[in-house]
Amino acid sequence: MRSCPRCLASYDEGLEFCGIDGAELIETELDPLLGVEIDRYQILELLGRGAMGAVYRARHLSLGRDFALKVLSGSFAANPHGLARFHREADALSKVRHSNIVSVVDFVTTPEGLNILIMDYLPGRTLYAAIAEEAPFTPERSANIARQIAAGLGAAHANELVHRDVKPSNVLLVAEGRGEVVKLLDFGVVTLEKQSDTAERLTGDGRVVGTPTYMAPEQAREGPVTHAADLYALGVVLYEMLSGKPPFDSKTVTEILVKHAVEPPPPLQAARGMEKIALQLLAKDVRDRPASAEAVIEEIDALVESWARPPSVVAPPPVKRRTKWPIAAGVSLAAMMVAGFVWTRNDAVSEPITHMEEVVEEEPEDEPEQPELAAPILKASEPVRPRRRAAKREESITKDVLHKRLDAVMTTLRGAAREIPANLAKECDDEYLVLRVAVNDAKNERALLQAAKRVRRLERKIAALRRG
């Protein structure tokens, strides 16, 4: 690696002079920024390095809190196109405030010329690393991650921004309780959805913006790029989570782009319905994909709710049992008629009495069975009412209902950004995030009821803050 001894910017091999200050570059094995103090921050650790620059963990000298610093490389800083992309990322992230998008704290240009984007530091790992180690994912985990990616994209699309580079390495997974919280990263190639000028869709050297493996057909053809391109990329990511590999791969970029444009994706194994959502997102025609990120969320929620829905319980029909007592009564009645007839024909008393005793002696054998009539009917009908009442309670508070209420909470919070102090809004953001995880992790009706109470408290808190 080569670096500038004056501004400490890093460069790729092959360059001789710094594009920022013109100083002669030197070879170095160690990162020149490690341990350095820059604008109230001390750089502690290199988190990752990409084409546009490097990301470091740094500690604020006054607050004692860690932040993530994205430092633009010298090659991009000296290039007007690269510098414009970096400023565009800072501007885009400052406009979008959502729990599934990394938050920007500040943007700094040092006196020496280094451009630094300061973001919240979130310990976690990328979805790329998780897929490499653990894929294929379960349908439940895939649904949870895909839903959160869609939620973050929906917030960007609501601000007329298209990410254009959705891929596993730009998705951070943060452990939160027993669940995972998604954070979308790297908005360096974001653009306005209404922007159709070709120059804006290209980098400074004429390459198409984006990563070929996750690029929508219209994006590969250099056509108009809308939010539908982000949804296609989400489909590729979901496909990769379910199968362990992307739908299209090749040794050359051209072959991958052609496959995205004309070839149908290979079929996926059954994954409780998530495979259908992935293939729908991968439709070649934008009109065949879900209409929006919100539509994707609705499909995932409906599918997950169907998994949690208990099978319907139908009471067995009452068992009809044949009883003997009507027959016995009929026999007794016939016997009495016969006895009466004999009585009229014979003056002897003993004969009709003898016959009556013989008939009546048969009745005690059948009469004890009479109470059994109600027994089977009661046994079959007793569980029906309690089960129906339990089902009605489950339908009143579901994960889908609570997620929709939380969506409304976030919409209200975003709309009241100017009415609520920043520190209190941050507290509400944190509570919202914790509740998202609690609802996702709820395993039974009691947990859902507890989550509903907490959602209600958060709604009341935001309403009180808005009233002042």
By annotation, the residues acting in catalysis are 165
Cα 190 to Cα 229: distance, rounded to the nearest angstrom: 12
Cα 162 to Cα 165: distance, rounded to the nearest angstrom: 9
Write out the two tokens for 409: 């909470």
Residue 310: phi, psi to the nearest 5? -70, 150
> Look-up: residue for tokens 């310990």?
123
Strand partners, 72: 53
Q: How many CB atoms lie within 10 A of CB 375?
A: 11
Which of 27, 26, 63 is CA-nearest to residue 42?
A: 63
